[in-house]
């Protein structure tokens, strides 16, 4: 739960505002390695799942924990590779810089136009990272009772389940910031020229929140639509399809950047 919440620290929720002569950042911590911080904190979350399943002293919970950790570690590689392509195009590891760099074309210079394949890879990996359908193998009730949290109840179970939903919310926020302009929205420069600073910041926050809600709806829509993969299909997709595609996407991005220079 802590690792799920820690990722929100580097999300830029809106542009800077000035209150009583003091500049206020709508971001908890604008560190220059924001995306690296997110990837690192997400990786730590695997320990909570693995130790929780092992400490249950239940073979089904342990099997669920092994599945969850294997799945998350496998898909983190492809996710990291897709992010490297974004870093190459923006030239920064800071999420604030990445969002700021997408305000061209009247707020429509979104990275999804430049990196459609990278976006698709990142989105699929986000589904696998958050253990959502069709990648909810760790909690497949028909095979493993309830997964790594089988033996838990009350608040401990609540934390496990709620952490999953917090991760889903944060994944939606990161996808929005990396590929859909974050708080940038169409014709934001026109809106900025006709509104005050604080009102404009609130509109930007609303735009980011609408994008996040859209992706949460997308997560739920996929859950209602697509059946679960088998575990071997899950591993094949991660290692034999997504990882090579992410490497090709990274090489293509590098080649295009080199050609344009």
| Tens digit of each residue's pLDDT (9 = 90 or more) over 139-170 | 666 666 667 777 888 898 888 888 889 999 99
pLDDT per residue as tens digits for the range 6-35:
999 999 998 888 887 888 888 888 888 889
Strand partners for 24: 17
How many other C-beta atoms are found inside a 10 Å radius of the C-beta of residue 207? Answer: 22
Alpha-carbon gap, residue 77 to 246, rounded angstroms:
9
Alpha-carbon gap, residue 178 to 118, rounded angstroms:
10
What pLDDT, on the 0 to 100 scale, is given for residue 124? 93
For the entire predicted model, the pTM comes to 0.89
Q: Tell me which DSSP letter residue 8 carries.
A: G
Alpha-carbon gap, residue 126 to 108, rounded angstroms:
24
Alpha-carbon gap, residue 39 to 26, rounded angstroms:
21
What pLDDT, on the 0 to 100 scale, is given for residue 126? 92
Instruction: Residue 111: name the closest of 84, 127, 89, 95 by CA.
Output: 89
Per domain, the residue ranges of the chain are 2-186+208-249
Percent pLDDT > 70 in the chain is: 97
**Among the ranges given (58-67, 125-134, 143-152), the one the predictor scored with the smallest mean pLDDT:** 143-152
Phi-psi region of 37 (alpha: psi -120 to 50; beta: other; left: phi over 0): alpha
What pLDDT, on the 0 to 100 scale, is given for residue 145? 66
pLDDT per residue as tens digits for the range 159-199:
888 888 999 999 999 999 999 988 988 888 888 888 888 89
Query: Can you tell me the mean pLDDT for 109-136?
Result: 88
What pLDDT, on the 0 to 100 scale, is given for residue 170? 93
Query: Can you tell me the mean pLDDT for 68-94?
Result: 90
Alpha-carbon gap, residue 199 to 191, rounded angstroms:
10
Contact 62, 146 (CB under 8 A): no
Three-class DSSP category at 24: strand
pLDDT bin (cut points 50, 70, 90) of residue 91 is: confident
More confident residue, 80 or 64: 80
What pLDDT, on the 0 to 100 scale, is given for residue 146? 67
Contact 110, 90 (CB under 8 A): no
């Amino acid at each position: 739960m802590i690792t799920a919440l820690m990722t929100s620290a580097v999300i830029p929720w809106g542009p800077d505002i000035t209150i009583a002569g003091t500049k206020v950042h709508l971001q908890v911590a604008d560190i220059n390695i924001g995306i690296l911080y997110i990837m690192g904190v997400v990786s730590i979350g695997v320990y909570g799942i693995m130790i929780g399943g092992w400490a249950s002293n239940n073979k089904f919970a342990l099997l669920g924990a092994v599945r969850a950790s294997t799945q998350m570690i496998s898909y983190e590689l492809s996710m990291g590779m897709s992010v490297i392509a974004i870093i190459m195009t923006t030239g920064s590891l800071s999420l604030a810089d990445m969002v700021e760099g997408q305000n061209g074309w009247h707020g429509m210079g979104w990275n999804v136009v430049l990196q459609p394949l990278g976006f698709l890879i990142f989105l699929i990996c986000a589904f696998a990272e958050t253990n959502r359908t069709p990648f909810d193998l760790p909690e497949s009730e028909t095979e493993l009772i309830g997964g790594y949290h089988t033996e838990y109840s009350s608040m401990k179970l609540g934390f496990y389940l709620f952490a999953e939903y917090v991760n889903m919310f944060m994944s939606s926020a990161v996808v929005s910031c990396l590929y859909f302009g974050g708080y940038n929205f169409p014709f934001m420069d026109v809106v900025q020229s006709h509104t005050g600073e604080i009102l404009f910041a609130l509109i930007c926050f609303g735009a980011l929140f609408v994008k996040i809600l859209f992706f949460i709806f997308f997560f739920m829509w996929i859950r209602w639509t697509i059946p679960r993969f088998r575990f071997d299909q899950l591993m094949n997709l991660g290692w034999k399809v997504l990882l090579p595609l992410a490497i090709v996407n990274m090489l293509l991005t590098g080649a295009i950047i080199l050609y344009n220079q």
